[in-house]
Amino acid sequence: MIRPGQRSIVALLAGLVAVAGSFAVSGLRQSFVVAPVDAVVVRATPAELVAFAIEELGYLGELLAYLTAVALTVVLFATANYVGLLVADAMAARVSIPSRVSVAVLVGGTTLVLAWLLSGSALSSVGAAAPAVVLAVAAAPADPGSPDGTVDSVRRRVLAASAGAVAFGALSYALGSRRATDIDHELPEAARAADAATLREQADERTLEIDGIPGLVSGIDDFYEVDINNVDPVLEASEWTLSVTGAVDSSFTVTYDELVDGDVRTGYNTLRCVGEQLNGDLLDNAIWTAVPVATLLERADPGGGCECVMVRAADDYYEQFPIAALERGFLAFGMNGESLPREHGHPVRLLVPGHWGEINVKWVTEIEVLDREVEGYWEERGWHGTGPVNTVAKLWTVNERADGRVQVGGHAYAGSRGIETVEVSVDGGDSWEAAELSEPLPSEHVLGERDAWRQWQYTWEPPAGDHEVVVRAIDGTGTLQPAEEESPYPSGSSGWVSETISV
């Protein structure tokens, strides 16, 4: 007989190897048993906690959510196993089935069913059940009376099983991480990848040489990532479609090949997340390959009573906003000359110039024209992030020169309004000087005309002491960035970035 304490250890270990086994065969995909639990955790987390995690924890918040999901999934399997082991014990006592057989059948069966319910994938279910069976049988209670049924022998087997589970976990982690997603990184022929290279050169020519700040085009791996799930969808371009539905004259569906065969543009566009801190770095610029949404909208001839749309995605994300904004939007399938990477919405995402990142829907699958307004994913959680971005000037670097001069610099962004001027004060806001700005990226190559950030720098020779540096931008309409300080939740951060420098 197994003791209750040991039974829970075996149940837990079997749960652990089940989750590990599923990861080994699935990698970080929807078929990984943690993926649906993660989605439930993310959606069940109270709005205040989500806002706090985004504002204060950033990436750490995502990691916490993910670890919670992994732990919950292990507990789910462990609970099922525990019940299975209890039943196995009862069976061994009543009917003459060898206990190892009933353990194998019950732990294997419950793991298989649970994994199937979570993942819907046969491979992932077998990947979970097989190691759980091996582990449970290895540590299982021996038949009463047999020599390896002694307490010592059971304890030894449980210890060995623990070591085995840890080793298997490490191996599965390595295997699952290597299961690369088979995304084709070549842009389709029609996309003229050469255009991206030309735009890259153009941006490099305009980039100011400032230590400690990024260039005018963010690298794909440096481009910030914000999305609701820790397991991003994997969509094959060949299977992807976009439907235009709802209050339209004619609903229709386009395939990837049809889309990229359209009026392809290559251009810069900057994205900024409404949840970022005032001087945060959820702000990046890339060269996108895209087609205008307007062509699709004309074909659909939208009606509807609210002049608004709901855009939906493969990760069950949805955002609602005015058709007028969508009309000026783009469907992007390339980023910096490569096909759109998985984490940024492969194969196709929306770009809505001038607006906060959240309506730039990734993995987009449906545009539904609505009759009346309904809240989108983030608005249900209290955010107001569908509108135009706030103006901001970042203070991202302070460089003390050998000659005693000090350089401060960063990026400035004002959505479609564009950046006209950046002003710097080195005396806490009493007097202001214009900073040097990078040449604007040429508007004919910007998706959304002025919707690309600019770099700024200011160098001066401060006397010894403390200096409060303040920076503010003036947008293309001549409007000064508001001084009033607001935290990101719910409508985006506001205020002037300042930093005290001691020389």
Ligand X SMILES: Nc1nc2c(c(=O)[nH]1)N[C@H]1C(S)=C(S)[C@@H](COP(=O)(O)O)O[C@H]1N2
Residue least distant from Mo ion (Cβ): 273
Among the listed ranges 99-107, 218-226, 432-440, 449-457, the one in contact with ligand X (CB under 6 A) is 218-226
Question: Whole-number minimum distance, CB 409 to Mo ion, in Å?
Answer: 25
The 265-294 site mask, x for binding Mo ion (CB under 5 A), equals: --------x---------------------
CA distance 132 to 136: 6
- Tell me the residue number closest to ligand X, measured at CB: 357
Applying CB under 6 A, which part among 14-22, 257-265, 361-369, 470-478 lies near ligand X?
361-369
**Shortest Cβ 335–ligand X spacing (Å):** 8
Residue 288 bridge partners (DSSP)? 267, 335
Helix (H) or strand (E) holding 364: strand 364-369
**Does 273 sit near ligand X (CB under 6 A)?**
yes
Query: Is position 227 an interface residue for ligand X (rule: CB under 6 A)?
Result: yes
Question: What six digits make up the tokens of 392?
Answer: 């901001």
271 binds ligand X, rule: CB under 6 A: yes
Q: Does 451 bind ligand X (CB under 6 A)?
A: no
Radius of gyration (C-alpha) of the chain in whole angstroms? 28
14: contact with Mo ion by CB under 5 A: no
364 contacts Mo ion (rule: CB under 5 A): no
- Could you give the 3-state DSSP secondary structure of residue 422? strand
**Which does residue 317 touch among ligand X, Mo ion, none (CB within 5 to 8 A, set by kind)?**
ligand X
HEC string for 276-321: CCCCCCCEEEEEEEEEECHHHHHHHCECCCCCEEEEEECCCCEEEE
Under the binding rule (CB under 6 A), the answer on residue 439 touching ligand X is no
Q: Tell whether omega for the bond before 347 is within 30 degrees of 0, i.e. cis.
A: yes
Partner that binds at residue 360, options ligand X, Mo ion, none, CB closer than 5 to 8 Å by kind: ligand X
Which segment (108-116, 138-146, 187-195, 224-232) binds ligand X by CB under 6 A? Answer: 224-232
Assign 454 to helix, strand or coil.
strand
Does 441 engage in binding with ligand X (CB under 6 A)?
no
Q: Which does 228 bind (CB under 5 to 8 A by kind): Mo ion, ligand X, none?
A: ligand X
Contact between 319 and Mo ion by CB under 5 A: the answer reads no
The amino acid occupying position 232 is D
Exposure string over 67-87, b if 16+ CB within 10 A, otherwise e: eebbeebbebbbbbbbebbeb
489 sits near ligand X (criterion: CB under 6 A): no
Q: What is the dihedral of CA 6, 7, 8, 11, to 10 degrees?
A: 120
Reduced to 3 states, what is the DSSP secondary structure of residue 370?
coil
Q: Which of 62, 358, 366, 368 binds ligand X (CB under 6 A)?
A: 358
**Bridge partners, 392 (sequence order):** 413
Q: Which of 100, 143, 149, 225 lies at the binding interface for ligand X (CB under 6 A)? A: 225
**Nearer to ligand X among residue 16 and residue 271 (C-beta):** 271
- Binding at 458: pick from Mo ion, ligand X, none (beta carbon under 5-8 Å per type): none
Please identify which residue in the block is written with the tokens 């989108």: 376
Residues 277 to 316 in contact with ligand X, rule: CB under 6 A: 313, 315
**Which residues contact residue 181 at a Cβ distance below 8 angstroms, ignoring those fewer than 6 apart?**
27, 29, 234, 342
- Give bridge partners of residue 242 from the DSSP assignment: 254
- Euclidean distance between CA atoms 230 and 38, whole angstroms: 7
**Pairing of β 466-475 and β 397-400:** unpaired
Residue 321 makes contact with ligand X by CB under 6 A: no
Using the minimum distance from each CB to ligand X, give the nearer residue, 318 or 496: 318
Three-state DSSP at 253 gives: strand
CA distance 322 to 15: 47
Residue 345 interacts with Mo ion (CB under 5 A): yes or no: no
Residue 304 beta carbon to ligand X: minimum distance, rounded to whole angstroms: 22
Residue 17 sits in the site that holds ligand X (CB under 6 A):
no
Relative to beta strand 436-437, strand 433-434 is: unpaired
Q: Whole-number minimum distance, CB 270 to ligand X, in Å?
A: 10
Neighbours of 228 (CB within 10 A): 18
The answer to whether 38 contacts ligand X (rule: CB under 6 A) is no
Our CB check for ligand X shows the closer of 15 and 334 to be: 334
The whole-angstrom separation of Cα 288 and Cα 445 is 10
> What binding mask, one character per residue, do residues 223-242 give for Mo ion by CB under 5 A, x or -?
---x----------------
Instruction: Determine if 320 is a binding residue for ligand X (CB under 6 A).
Output: no
Interface with ligand X by CB under 6 A: which range of 138-146, 160-168, 356-364, 427-435? 356-364
Structure tokens that stand for 209 in this block? 């040489």
What spatial distance separates the first Cα and last Cα of the chain, rounded to whole Å? 73
Among 70, 114, 226, 370, binds ligand X (CB under 6 A): 226
Residue 441 is encoded by which pair of tokens? 């990226």
Residue number, 135 or 348, with CB nearest to ligand X: 348
Q: What is the DSSP letter of 355?
A: B
Check residue 358 for interaction with Mo ion (CB under 5 A). Answer: yes
Q: From the CB of 342, what's the least distance to ligand X, in Å?
A: 11
What residues line the site for Mo ion (CB under 5 A)? 226, 273, 357-358
What residues line the site for ligand X (CB under 6 A)? 223-228, 271, 273, 313, 315, 317, 344, 357-358, 360-363
